[in-house]
Copies of this chain bind each other. A is one copy, B any other.
Amino acid sequence: MKKWAALPIGALLVFLLLAAPRSFAAEGMWPLSNLPAAALQKRFGFTPSAKWIEHVQLASVRLAGGCSGSFVSADGLVLSNHHCAVDCLEGLSRPGRNLMGESFYAATREDELKCPAMEVEQLVRRTDVTGAVNRATQSKSGAAYAAARRAATSRLESACVAGHPKRWRCEVVALYHGGQDWLYKYRRYQDVRLVFVPSQSTSFFGGYPDNFNFPRYDFDVSILRVYVDGKPAHTPDYFPMSTTGPKAGELVFTSGNPGATERDDTIAQLQALRYPIFPVLLQVFSHFQGLLEGFSAQSASNARIARGDLFFIDNAIKSFDGQLQALNDRQAFARKAKEEAALRAKVAADPALAGKVGDAWTGIAAAQRRYNAMFLPYLMLVPQGGQGFYSRLYRMAFGIVLGAYERTLPDAQRFAEYRSANLPLLEQQLFSPAPVYRNYDRVRLTSSLTMLRDLMGTDAPIVRTLFATASPAEVAGHAVGGTKLADVAVRKTLWAGGQKAVADSSDPMIALAREVLPYYLEVRKTYDDEVKAPIEANTTKIAQARFALYGTSISPDATFTERLSYGVVKGWKKHGQSVGPFTYVSGLYAHARSYAPLQLSAAWLAAKSRLNPATPMNFVSTNDIVGGNSGSPVIDRDGRLVGLIFDGNLPSLGGAFWYDGKLNRAVSVDSAIIVEALKNVYHANALVKELTGRG
């Protein structure tokens, strides 16, 4: 399982609440405001104190790119996954310094390398703003609802940032799909430096075939450090690292930011995921997978350039496959339908409730049909700059063009990511000095524009406009060949120049983005007003009815915000065979071969005699996690870090829709091997001392 925001599915889905209460063991990604204290006390004799909760909150962090992490020293060390640092590693790679292919360790602070564009965020305050948001939106629908909600959340966020957007990030989070609204305030860290990574062959040992599988032997670790004013940040709340890892059966917690789940989707929404959404996503991503394999086959340097993207595409495909398979489990789906029917019956049986909820399910189904009908244009134009425009140079251009337009509007009318309070993150990405590969961009833009044309058809107005006088290959070649946006200074000047600079620019990539802008605004506005708004409004109605029936006894769908899940270290039965909870160093060496993806790095081969074969490598636990949890700390009840989440097993992919305690497992790197490998493979003694307090 890989970081969440890199995948479009999060951006494609609309959050929804609602099903009957579920009682599987360990189910739930709990907001810190609503931990299942009674269940924990009953089952484990443990009740987290307010102080424990605050400490966990402050020691946990979010990586803005779509991952989780945690502070692991008082001097700003952050532990996360290797795969969460890929953008940084690629951005720092140069001819002669291949940070994807090789390991890296900064023995001194002077050696730490600044990531071109990475943001670490620490949640410092949570405020319930349900009342304020509800007052603003009540009895509104459609575009009016969307505008009112946008205005209200924008006001709250601006006030929270209080004029310091580089220091604070604030966002209103709809838990229970608007059943509750919370204002979350984050401390923003943009100076993030690389301290340690293994090579990708070590972090992703076993490669694609082993991804989402277990037994596993991955050392999917990255260690970063956040700086403030050029000095390591002081971070008194952190998780000290256990040198032994957890025991089988032990209670463990994960504290992280699960990206998105659809457990409370209505049946109409799940049906849409079954078709057309996942089949189309699989088609688009499989096309790009083949494209990047074809590109990589040309040369070793091409392979290096495409490696990170291919990794995420492979991962997305495997994840979509697993989710589509889960949705086609007819028994599970029928159970889901029964739950919905039961809830609807309960609502119908209570006239007061029924009056409030109205025909919310029908409203959602209608909005979903609207979405299905516009899904292709939406997919091609919107998520991540649009799948029809698969080019970093294009996405920079579009960010500049859309940003110039949005900044002419008052905050309350802008898309969330362009509000003043959120610009620091955008600017960091836009001005990243990471290298640009022009030929790679040309190949990808040609192929994605061709796909856009082919999937949308020649009658679509945007297709007529873009290809009025040239083919996709010509459009891409002209724009990529002629653009000057590879130069950071040019991007900065255009960004600073706003609307006028954009209008005056003769850069062909800016010109392409200008052509796209009106189509983008139209499809996004249609989506916001005719899909998102009615779904949110109707879902909130159901959520409120649901509170009346069940309270907060279930956890809300994931929202890429801080959640705690509990579980125990435990194996499962795969096709009737028991799978134990741990793998060991001995298994890593036994599983190794002389070729990728089973090839050990020279460092690990050399270290074999220095490593204890009985040291645990990876373990599984029943914690309920999902994409976005990558990099989450696994802690014991005393707040010691015993593991590092990096994946889930295959059945956990169905966790997007339902949790099955018998099968779903989270997969972690054991802290014991982190300590031992840092010491005996990488000779990172200063780092070990900082992590464990011992040399």
Contacts and interface: CB of A to CB of B under 8 A. Distances in A.
Interface of A: 206, 208-210, 213, 274-276, 278-279, 282-284, 286-295, 297-298, 314, 317-318, 321, 324-325, 328, 442-443, 446-447, 450, 453-454, 457-458, 463, 467, 469-471, 474, 593-597
B593 A469 contact: yes
Nearest to A471: B595
B276 A328 contact: yes
Given A283-B283, A324-B279, A457-B209, A297 B295 contact: yes
Contact of A293 (B283, B291, B325, B595): B291
29 contacts: A206-B458, A208-B454, A209-B457, A213-B457, A274-B275, A275-B324, A275-B328, A276-B325, A276-B328, A278-B279, A279-B279, A279-B282, A282-B286, A283-B317, A283-B321, A284-B286, A286-B286, A286-B290, A287-B290, A288-B290, A291-B291, A291-B294, A292-B294, A293-B294, A294-B294, A294-B443, A298-B298, A318-B454, A469-B595
Nearest to A591: B458
A598 to B, nearest CB: 9
B458 A209 contact: yes
B594 A447 contact: no
Per CB-CB distance, the 6 closest pairs between chain A and chain B, nearest first, are A294-B294, A290-B290, A290-B291, A287-B290, A286-B286, A471-B595
Residue in A292, A318, A450, A469 with the greatest tally of chain B CB atoms within 10 Å: A450
Nearest to A278: B279
Contacts of A297: 294-295, 442-443, 446-447
Contacts of A290: 286-294, 447
Residue in A275, A276, A294 with the greatest tally of chain B CB atoms within 10 Å: A294
A293 B454 contact: no
A457 B274 CA distance: 24
Contacts of A453: 209
B470 A595 contact: yes
B594 A469 contact: yes
Contact of A286 (B287, B294, B314, B474): B287
Contacts of A276: 325, 328
Contacts of A284: 286
A206 B453 CA distance: 12
Contacts of A325: 276
A473 to B, nearest CB: 8
Contacts of A446: 293, 297
A603 B279 CA distance: 42
A219 to B, nearest CB: 19
Contacts of A292: 290, 294
Nearest to A292: B294
Contact of A474 (B287, B457, B467, B595): B595
Contacts of A328: 275-276
A447 B209 contact: no
Given A208-B454, A209-B454, A297-B295, A596 B275 contact: no
A471 B593 CA distance: 10
Given A208-B454, A287-B293, A291-B293, 10 more contacts: A206-B458, A279-B279, A283-B286, A287-B287, A293-B294, A293-B450, A294-B447, A297-B446, A469-B593, A469-B594
Residue in A293, A317, A453, A594 with the greatest tally of chain B CB atoms within 10 Å: A293
Contacts of A208: 454
Nearest to A325: B276
A291 B295 CA distance: 8
Nearest to A599: B471
A289 B292 CA distance: 11
A283 B471 CA distance: 26
A287 B467 CA distance: 25
Contact of A287 (B274, B289, B318, B463): B289
A298 B296 CA distance: 11
A328 B450 CA distance: 26
A596 B294 contact: no
Contacts of A283: 282-283, 286, 317, 321
Residue in A274, A286, A467 with the greatest tally of chain B CB atoms within 10 Å: A286
A325 to B, nearest CB: 8
A594 B276 CA distance: 35
Contacts of A443: 294, 297
Nearest to A327: B275
A283 B328 CA distance: 16
A671 B168 CA distance: 72
Contacts of A594: 469
